[in-house]
Amino acid sequence: MSDTIRQAGAIPSAGAVSPAGVVSPAGVTRPAWAGTKPPRLADDSPGFRALIGQGWADQHVPAPVDSAAARAAADHRARLSAALPGRTIVLTAGVAKNRNGDADHAFRADSDFVWATSCQAEGAVLVMRPHAGGHDAVLYLPPPARPGERDFYASAAYGELWVGPSAGLDAWAEALDLPVRPLDSLVMPSEVADAGEVLSDLRMIKDEWEIGQLRAAVDATVGGFEAVAGEVAYAVSRGLGERWLQGTFDRHARTFGNGPGYSTIVGSGPHAPILHWVRCDGPVLPGEALLLDMGVEARSLYTADVTRTIPVGTGFSAAQRQVHDLVEAAHRAGMAQVRPGGQYSDFHFASMEVLARGLADWGLLPVSVDEALAPEGQQHRRYIVCGVGHHLGLDVHDCGKSEYDKYHGAALEAGMVLTVEPGLYFHAHDETVPPELRGIGVRLEDDLLVTPAGNEVLSGALPIDAEGIEQWASRFAK
C-alpha cells in the first residue's frame, strides 16, 4: 500500500518504462505487457508449448467400474440383443446440459446406456451391430487428452490438466471386456432401432446385482433420514429451515452415494401437502408435520425413493395423527397387494379404497364411496392427485416408456422393485376441509422388492406407524 503513495512532484511522467514495468501517472507500477492482448497459449506461445507437454509422470487410472457391474451389463446386453435381433442398436451416454454461459450442470449418464454398459463416461456411445448369432458391441469414448496433445492444456472438457487424469480407452476395454474405440472413429449407422420402449420393458425385472445396488441405495437413504432427524432441532433453533435439512440429506447422499436420486423434497407445515415441494426454502416450525421425500442414488446410479412425515417437536398433533393413521392404513393395504401374480395396479386401488372410505367417514366426500371409486368419480383424488407408486431402478420413475399392458396392466413378477406411496394432501387454502386439517400433508413411501413369496420392504428399517415414527425421530434428535 505505502509505495503507491507519493508526494506531489515526485510522480514520474506517464509512460516512463523501467525494467520492472510501466509506472502510471498515479504512481502504480504496471507489468511490462500491460495493455497488450494476453497471448493464446496454443497459438502465440511456442515457449509454453515446448514445455507443457514434458515432464509428466505416467498416470494409470483404472476405469471406474468393478467386475460385477461389468458382468451385469454384459448380461443386459445379451438380453437386449435377443430382444432386437437383426437391428442395429445405438445407445448414448449424453452430455451435460448447459447451465449458463460456459458452465454446465453436473453430468449424469443416461440410464439405458448405463444399464447396458455400466459406463458413466460423458459423450460415450455404444453401438451393437447385428450378425447371424446376435450382436457385436463396441463402445466409443472421447479419449482423455494426455501430455503431448494440444487439448491436454487447451480443452476444458477433456484436457487432463483441466479435469484430472482419467481412464484411457485401454483401461475401459479391460474393465468392460469390450472393444473400445475413440469417439471420432464412429461412423453413425443410418438404420438404427429405437430401443427406448424395449429397454424400459427389459429394465423392469432386476437381477441380483441390481437388487444389491438398490439395497445399498435404500440403506444409505435410511442413514440420510437419520442424519436429517438429527438436525431438525438445530434447524428450528437456528431458524435455518427446510434449506438446511435439504442440504443435510444431499450432503449425505453425495458422501455415501452418487448424490440425491431426484430433487429432495423437504416440506414443513403448509408445504407438506405440495407434492413436488423442491423449493425447500421455507421455515421449519415447532408443531408442524415435516414431510421428507428423499433418496440416495448409489454410485452405480440405482436410486432409492422413500418418504416419511415426522413431527417437528415431540409428537404429532391430534389432527396430524388422524391423517397419519389413515395414510398408514392405506399403505398397509397397498403393500399387502404386492406379490407375484397380482396385477400391478392392485396396490393402487387397494390404497385408494382405504383413503376414500376414511375421507367419507370424515365427511369429506360429496358422494358415496362407490361413486368416488368409480372411474368417472374419483372425488377422493382431490386430496391425492398422484398415483400410489411406480417402478424403481436407475430412474426414480423407472420403466416409464413401457406401455400399459407391460406396466400398470401387467402381473407383478419376482425381481420387480417398486414404491408404494399413499398420502393425503390438505392444502392450507383448501376450504373443503375443516380448519384443523388445512396445511397437513402426510405421505408414507417404501421401496418393495417383489419376491417369489410376496414382497420384501427394502426400506423396512424405518417405522410406518405414527408412534413408531415419533420414537424413531426422537431417538435420532440431538
Among the listed ranges 35-43, 289-297, 318-326, 460-468, the one in contact with Mn ion (CB under 5 A) is 289-297
Question: Between 126 and 330, whose beta carbon lies closer to ligand GLY?
Answer: 330
Beta strands in 109-161 (DSSP E): 125-131, 134-141
Pick from 305, 328, 395, 446 the residue near Mn ion by CB under 5 A: 305
Question: Between 209 and 262, whose beta carbon lies closer to ligand GLY?
Answer: 262
Residues engaged in binding ligand GLY (CB under 6 A) = 262, 293, 305, 390, 396, 421, 445
Which residue in 116, 222, 176, 107 sits closest to 458, CA to CA?
A: 222
Pairing of strands 306-311, 289-294: antiparallel
> What is the distance between the alpha carbons of residues 309 and 21, in angstroms, rounded to a whole number?
66
For residue 447, the surrounding DSSP H or E stretch is strand 446-451
What are the distances in angstroms from CA 217 to CA 15, 76, 196, 301, 430? 66, 20, 25, 9, 36
Least Cβ distance, residue 390 to Mn ion (angstroms): 6
Question: Between 41 and 386, whose beta carbon lies closer to Mn ion?
Answer: 386
Under the binding rule (CB under 5 A), the answer on residue 221 touching Mn ion is: no
Residue 348's binding partner, choosing from Mn ion, ligand GLY, none, with beta-carbon cut-off 5 to 8 A by kind? none
Question: Between 121 and 352, whose beta carbon lies closer to ligand GLY?
Answer: 352
Sign of torsion over alpha carbons 31, 32, 35, 38: negative
Question: Between 231 and 293, whose beta carbon lies closer to ligand GLY?
Answer: 293
> What is the distance between the alpha carbons of residues 17 and 414, in angstroms, rounded to a whole number?
82
Least Cβ distance, residue 300 to ligand GLY (angstroms): 19
Under the binding rule (CB under 5 A), the answer on residue 246 touching Mn ion is: no
Least Cβ distance, residue 305 to ligand GLY (angstroms): 5
Residue 262's binding partner, choosing from ligand GLY, Mn ion, none, with beta-carbon cut-off 5 to 8 A by kind? ligand GLY
Least Cβ distance, residue 367 to ligand GLY (angstroms): 28
Counted residue by residue, the chain has a size of: 478
> What is the distance between the alpha carbons of residues 338 and 216, in angstroms, rounded to a whole number?
21
Least Cβ distance, residue 41 to ligand GLY (angstroms): 47
Question: Between 295 and 311, whose beta carbon lies closer to ligand GLY?
Answer: 295
Considering only residues 383 to 442 of the shown chain, the ones binding Mn ion according to CB under 5 A are 419
Least Cβ distance, residue 320 to ligand GLY (angstroms): 20
The DSSP result for 298-364, as a single string, is: PTTS-B--EEEEEESSSS--HHHHHHHHHHHHHHHHHHTT-STTSBTTHHHHHHHHHHHHHHHHTT-
| SS3 at position 366 | coil
Question: Which residue has its beta carbon closest to ligand GLY?
Answer: 293
For residue 297, the surrounding DSSP H or E stretch is strand 296-297
Question: Between 110 and 445, whose beta carbon lies closer to Mn ion?
Answer: 445
Least Cβ distance, residue 283 to ligand GLY (angstroms): 22
Q: Which residues lie near Mn ion (CB under 5 A)? A: 293, 305, 419, 445
